[in-house]
Structure 1
Amino acid sequence: MKTKNEITSFLANTATNKKIILFDGVCNLCNGAVQFIIKHDKKDVFRFVALQSDLGKEICIYIGVDQSKIDSIILYNPGVAYYYKSLAVLEIGEDLGGIYSLASIFKIFPEKLRNYIYDYIAKNRYKWYGKKESCMIPTPELKAKFL
């Protein structure tokens, strides 16, 4: 395990001015979402790390995310804040810009309701979309997008 200072230094050197998306690396739905985000990230805003990886676990501990909550997407904006579940999805949409920023209209609904729907999908994601045996390995072209 890295120390808090080592994580801070790593993030400062590796993910400068980038937002980090922590995702379920074995979930087919999550991997599809990552591929979608990469394709539409025209401003090169995001970097990705699987929640199951050592670095993913260390970042979660570093930002204070309860390890029991790592069943969800987390958007971490280093030095600013982190977003979890439905709010992470809406923030990612805003950062992608264009038509995807319209997703922020869903912020009019209470977070509890949005997260109820999010949790329902998350609970069934393996049954509906399947699960990989291990985390995806990025292609050489995509390696720079992953921490």
Structure 2
Amino acid sequence: MKTYIVLFDGVCNLCNSTVQFIIKRDTHNQFKFSSLQSEYGQNFLKERNLDSSDFKSIILYEPEVAYYTKSTAALKIAQNLGFPYSLLSVFLLIPSFIRDWIYSLISKYRYHLFGKKDSCMVPTPENKRKFI
């Protein structure tokens, strides 16, 4: 079974809700999580020469294979959650510049629309093993 690491903006309410959504539907226990603000997240960004202060994209990391950002990351997560969420992978047929434009628009206004926490979420004791 493959393991994927989802890196997310730890203070974003939309991102935190997305993580909770994934956890509830991860029946094969294949996803681990880390905030982009954490030591792991910061090291990940720096090792790949990515901006370590720009948290406008979720990142899906498939160790030893690749990492994906923005809409591709979101759709590949859905693809790995099984039916019916895997049906969303059909949107991978749309060119990424179109998908990412929509993703970036939502990302730009996410704090305004969904709110922001003062600090990163703390995982519940039952979910702690899923976080890096």
Q: Deviations over 1:12-38 (max 9, x none)?
A: xxxx94210000000000000000000
* Residue 64 (structure 1) shift: 4.0
- In 2, the alpha carbon distance for the partners of 1:17 and 1:106 equals 23
- In 1, the alpha carbon distance for the partners of 2:22 and 2:49 equals 25
Query: How much identity, in percent, do the aligned residues show?
Result: 52
Work out whether 1:28 is the aligned partner of 2:13.
yes
Q: What does residue 126 of structure 2 align with?
A: 141
- Aligned residue pairs, count: 132
Could you list the runs of 5+ residues in structure 1 that have no partner in the other structure? 1-15
Q: Which moved more, 1:65-74 or 1:98-107?
A: 65-74
* Residue 65 (structure 1) shift: 2.9
2:77 equivalent among 88, 92, 100: 92
Could you list the runs of 5+ residues in structure 2 that have no partner in the other structure? none
Q: CA RMSD in A?
A: 1.4
- In 2, the alpha carbon distance for the partners of 1:46 and 1:31 equals 14
Q: Which has the larger radius of gyration?
A: 1
Poorly superposed stretches of 4+, deviation over 6 Å: none
2:86 equivalent among 101, 108, 112: 101
Q: What does residue 52 of structure 2 align with?
A: 67
Counterpart AA for 2:78: G
Counterpart AA for 2:86: S
- In 1, the alpha carbon distance for the partners of 2:48 and 2:64 equals 9
User: Which one has a larger percent helix, Structure 1 or Structure 2?
Assistant: 1
- The within-5 A match list for 1:23-62 is 23-62=8-47
Closer, same or farther: CA 36–61 of 1 in aligned 2, 3 Å: same
Q: Secondary structure at the match of 1:114?
A: helix
The TM-score normalised by the length of structure 1 is: 0.85
The TM-score normalised by the length of structure 2 is: 0.94
Q: Is the 8 A contact 2:56 2:104 kept in 1?
A: no
Q: Secondary structure at the match of 1:96?
A: coil
- In 1, the alpha carbon distance for the partners of 2:48 and 2:86 equals 26
Counterpart AA for 2:28: K
Q: Which moved more, 1:57-66 or 1:124-133?
A: 57-66
Work out whether 1:77 is the aligned partner of 2:84.
no
